[in-house]
Amino acid sequence: MNLSYEDNIAVLDLGDGENRFSPDFLDEIDRVLDDVLAAGAAGRAHGLVTTATGKFYTNGLDLDWLMANGDRTDWYVGRVHALLARVLTLPIPTAAAVVGHAFGAGAMLAIAHDFRVMRADRGFFCFPEVDIRIPFTPGMTALIQAKLTPQAQVASMTTGRRFGGVDAAAFGIVDATAGEGAVTPAALELLRPLAGKDSGTLGAIKTGMFGPAVAALGG
């Protein structure tokens, strides 16, 4: 995981692996978000773009860890919920640069951002829960319902469909698509006009907009 800045916009590279939500991953991303908010308070961060280096944006839940730590499932799901709620209400503009596959909770992390840009020619956005027999938690359902149209909810949540970038844009799951090497720059362009928004006001607006989803996520 690596944090850099471009024109006062924080760029968080989640890594070059599957970027699954291990407890260590969750700890690290929380620390990075703390740093970004501190930079925002000091006037050095006017937005956040999350991206990745390899073939995955993120593959979501660390199922191997869960299988080995079944007695900690509730704790783990609570940690994932907390991350989703935090990103959903982050008091700076956010954009996910979905440069590769985004599956399950990884796709939910992208959904929690204000905007999403996806590579047009490679990678899938997918909620596979119906096929792997893991129902959505109420919090995850509320998050997706807060962001997607009813048509997109049915198309993505009940089918396990793998959306390429063009299909995802047609359903409004992502806001734009871009070619290889252009996804993160496109996400940055979405945020540049939003520099200077008051963080207290923006945070209050997001909390009001997404209050039911935050409550369902345990926030």
Q: What percent of the chain has pLDDT over 70?
A: 100
12-63: per-residue pLDDT in tens? 999 999 999 999 999 999 999 999 999 888 788 899 999 999 899 999 999 9
Q: Tell me the three state secondary structure of residue 51.
A: strand
- What whole-number distance in Å separates Cα of residue 52 and Cα of residue 156? 23
Q: Are 6 and 45 in contact (CB under 8 A)?
A: no
- What whole-number distance in Å separates Cα of residue 183 and Cα of residue 120? 9
Q: Give the residue carrying structure tokens 């039911």.
A: 212
- As a whole number, mean pLDDT of residues 162-171 equals 98
pLDDT(196) > 90: no
Query: What DSSP string describes 70-135?
Result: GGGHHHHHHHHHHHHHHHHT-SS-EEEEE-SEEETHHHHHHHHSSEEEEESSS--EE--HHHHT-P
Confidence tier at 161 by pLDDT (50, 70, 90) = very high
Q: Give the residue carrying structure tokens 């698509």.
A: 177
- The candidate with the shortest Cα–Cα distance to 50, out of 91, 120, 98, is 98
How many other C-beta atoms are found inside a 10 Å radius of the C-beta of residue 9? 22
**Structure confidence at residue 204 (pLDDT):** 97
Which tokens in the block code for residue 50?
């999350």
**Structure confidence at residue 162 (pLDDT):** 98
104-156: per-residue pLDDT in tens? 999 999 999 999 999 999 999 999 999 999 999 999 999 999 999 999 999 99
Which tokens in the block code for residue 176?
């734009």
